[in-house]
Structure 1
Amino acid sequence: MQGHSHHGHHHHGSPHHGSPHHGSPHHGSPHHGDESRLADLLDLDADVLGTYLDELTAWIAEQAVRTPRTVADLGAGTGTGTLALARRFPDAEIVAVDQSPVMLDRLRSAALGQGLGERVRLVRADLDEALPPIGGADLVWAAASLHHVKDPARLLGEIHAALDPGGTLAVVEMDGMPRFLPDEAGAALEARCRAAVAATGPDPYPDWGPFLEEAGFEVAARRDFPIEVSPAPPNAVRYAQAVLGGYRSRLDGELAAADLAALDRLLSADSPESLGRRDLVVRGTRTAWAARRP
């Protein structure tokens, strides 16, 4: 999942606006509290949905021409992807790039907690300014971060130059916020919320294939990774509260009164319909592109 937002119009990025990812904002200076809340949401996303990462990193390993020795995670956020890559490639150094000291502090703690601290190098940098020097990389990973960069074509060109020939770039995006309500009425409510967010926000990420080719990459493969977690883990309730609470605050005045009332019932601890009293199923989709520098 990881960021993330152009601060000012929030795409996939803050707890109030609908979507975490496994990266984080690359520009602007959000308040420390906002970054801490976003970091909390990224950690929740990792806890609830992180199991798909093993499948995703295995797929990336299959696409790579050689076993990577240096891996760069651009927009690393709190490190879910960073640590998954470190586990997948046990002989590689992982360079985690993010502009947020809050995110990098979380990442450092997580890496030390998993005994991976010596293999993870943290680099604070704003990807809107330039790709920082990362040395020759065999694999670059950009999960839910590329669409937040002001000029992705420029960054892709810099990634192409930083990759060793034969190196791989993995771009990962998410289809929006995860869904939690398995019943028909709940699923319809979530669909209306997602549609309203899409109508009020910027366009979602593009098909990165043509952008990758324009930057000189060969697109090796594209794959969707559907995620369904059932039964939902305990933290799914907190995650659902954060997501649906974000819809409630963002879409006040956009949704029909009946939908706003339904969200209020789901978010109220005293309601018989409270999220805490329901069996949740967590669903989402990630789309990944694997591209190579010839």
Structure 2
Amino acid sequence: MSDRGPGYEQRLARERETFAGQVEVHGNLPPSAHHWSERHTRPKLEALGVPSIEELIVGEIAERAERLDRDVVVLSLGSGNGDQELGWLRTLAAAGQHNVRLRLLELNPDMQARAEASARELGVADRVELLTADFNTWRADTAHDVVVGYQALHHVLDLEHLYGQIRAGLDPSGVLVVHDMIGRNGHRRWPEALEVIDRIWATLPPRLRRNAMTGAVDEQFVDIDCAADGFEGIRAQDVLPVLLDHLHPSLFFPYGNVIDPFVDRIYGPGFDLAEPADVRLLDHLGTLDDTLVDLGVVSPTHLIGLFHPTEQPLRVHGSRTPERSVRDTSVVDPAGRVSFRPGGTTGDRLVRGAGVVTGRMNGVAHDDWAAPSVEFPLLTTAAVGALELRTFVPDDSADHGSVTIAVDGVPVAKADVGPGLREQVVPVAIDAHRQVRLSFDADWSITAGSGADRRTLAYILVGLRLLER
């Protein structure tokens, strides 16, 4: 990806701003996350000979420190404040291994300053080198024995460039240690996973649907796009397949998917581990999550692994191989179903004509109010020549404007939407038997009324008919 696209500098500034004041980066997970990890993740890792991710990293460094008669060069990608990395140095020094040199690659100068201060305070500044650079433009300038990607790769836009530089700068016997996110871009749910989560959501008491960020009880699960204005999850779904194009795994442990919202920082704090019913629910969710991943119904969203310049013997958990863990992004829903929409109708009621909805209709609420951005995963049953769009905006609202219609992200037409009921036919050409992403982006929004309804809306989508060419 040589062209980083429009808005790149703004995203870069947002990334610096977001992390400038963060002293604690990898902590602050709710108790529900630790409970799930101990019950459902740690035992599987231990069966593969890995006590923990920290011990995996330190072990890879220690093995080389014992074997080599020179400094072992360790590169940490997105090192933040350097607290974890300096902890590795302390652990190795306590074991009598001092021939380790750390290189901390980090975009944020404020975090680098904190790392530098900590290294001086610990008396290891001479073993630490600070590299303040952007992942997307950084170039390897020396050989590395161990490269660590700890929750950093899902922030990278130009994965091809970064992986190429890692491979070019990796010693022939070197290793890339990965602990990262490999789910959908922006950490959104794929339709098949969202359907399961929505069904679970409908059974939860209000306290388990309380959003820790807003304080509101979310009647429906809020599938946030975390990459909307920054680099969080910007190409998460490409982290694994592009990595496999560049390096070879020797340890491969993918895990998690449906469990994610119940153990994250937004909804995870609602679980009380002193309440037996909450513990039972977490255990049920963990078992369901494992089963869905093992069956291949959903693809994993997390990865712990070791990767090398050359092919190696491979350790995996059960059938969770690299090949089965890559989500096929060419289809919207692998099962080809119209996904469940709690409290409302399926896409078959809104969408008619020469196409069917094959997955979650993102941005359309249960009462058919449309958000400023709406997305329809469609399969055309015949060649489409135009769209018949029916919309409604309440007469007492003065807000209206244009809606940009796009096919697979490429704008193809515009429609005018205003107060009252409007019906219009817009020329849009789509070939027959195509799986496409049809999206509508309004250039205005209506803020919902006061009270519990805090949605940002645009108009009511009354109907959409695909007209044959």
Q: TM-score, normalised by structure 2?
A: 0.38
Query: Structure 2 matches for 1:161-200, cutoff 5 A?
Result: 161-174=168-181, 185-189=206-210, 195-198=222-225
Q: Distance in 1 between matches of 2:134 and 2:60?
A: 28
Q: Could you tell me whether the CA contact under 8 Å between 2:75 and 2:102 is conserved in 1?
A: yes
Aligned to 2:149: 142
Whose Rg is larger?
Answer: 2
1:218 partner amino acid: H
State the alpha-carbon separation in 2 of the partners of residues 155 and 123 from structure 1.
15
Within the candidate set 51, 60, 64, 1:67 is matched to: 64
1:93-141 per-residue CA deviation (whole Å, 9 max, x = no partner) reads: 11001121101011112223334333211111111112342x2110001
1:119-268 equivalences under 5 Å are 119-133=127-141, 135-174=142-181, 185-189=206-210, 195-198=222-225, 205-206=236-237, 208-215=239-246, 217-223=247-253, 243-244=265-266
Instruction: Give the match for residue 40 of structure 1.
Output: 23
SS state at 1:165 partner: strand
- Alpha carbon RMSD of aligned pairs, Å? 4.8
Q: Answer whether contact 2:155 2:234 (CA < 8 A) is retained.
A: no
Q: Tell me which residue corresponds to 2:85.
A: 82
More strand by share: 2
Alignment partners' CA distance in 1, 2:221 and 2:116: 33
Task: State the percentage of identical aligned residues.
Answer: 20
Q: Which residue of 1 aligns with 2:52?
A: 55
The CA deviation at 1:59 is 2.0
CA distance 1:286–1:161, shift in 2 (3 Å): same
Q: Which residue of 2 aligns with 1:100?
A: 108
Unpaired runs of at least 5, structure 2: 35-41, 43-49, 66-71, 188-203, 213-217, 257-263, 287-300, 311-469
Length, aligned pairs only: 222
The answer as to whether partners of 1:61 and 1:67 remain within 8 angstroms in 2 is no
- The residue matched to 2:157 in structure 1 has which SS? coil
For residues 146-195 of structure 1, the C-alpha deviation after alignment (integer angstroms, 9 at most, x for no partner) is: 1222210221011011010010001221587xxxxxx9654444696874
Deviation at 1:200, TM superposition (A): 8.2
In structure 2, the residue corresponding to 1:42 is in which secondary structure? Answer: coil
Distance 1:57 1:224, change over 3 A: farther
For residues 232-262 of structure 1, the C-alpha deviation after alignment (integer angstroms, 9 at most, x for no partner) is xxxxxxxx9xx55xx9xxxxxxxxxxxxxxx
Whether the 8 Å contact between 1:127 and 1:155 is mirrored in structure 2 is yes
> Matches of 1:29 and 1:148 in 2, distance apart?
13
Identify the residue that residue 288 of structure 1 maps to in structure 2: 304
How many Å separate the matches in 2 of 1:105 and 1:118? 15
CA distance in 2, matches of 1:116, 1:54: 27
Greater helix fraction, Structure 1 or Structure 2 = 1
State how far apart, in whole Å, the 2-side matches of 1:292 and 1:159 are.
Answer: 10
Closer, same or farther in 2 for the Cα pair 1:26/1:224, shift >3 Å?
A: farther
RCO greater where, 1 or 2, for CA within 8 Å and sep 6 or more? 1
Q: TM-score, normalised by structure 1?
A: 0.57
Name the SS of the counterpart of 1:123 in structure 2: strand
User: Residues of 1 paired with 2:180 and 2:221: CA distance?
Assistant: 16
Query: Cα gap change, 1:116/1:27 in structure 2, threshold over 3 Å: closer, same or farther?
Result: farther
The verdict on how the C-alpha distance between 1:287 and 1:195 changes in structure 2, with shifts beyond 3 A counting, is farther
Whole-angstrom distance in 2 between the partners of 1:214 and 1:72: 21
CA distance in 2 between partners of 1:119 and 1:199 (Å): 36
2:227, 2:135 → 1: CA distance? 26
Q: CA deviation at 1:213?
A: 2.7
Change (3 A) 1:224 1:45: farther
For residue 191 of structure 2, what is the aligned residue in structure 1? none
Deviation at residue 35 of structure 1 after TM alignment: 3.7
Once the two structures are TM-superposed, the CA of residue 290 in structure 1 deviates from its matched residue by: 0.9
Partner SS, residue 142 of structure 1: strand
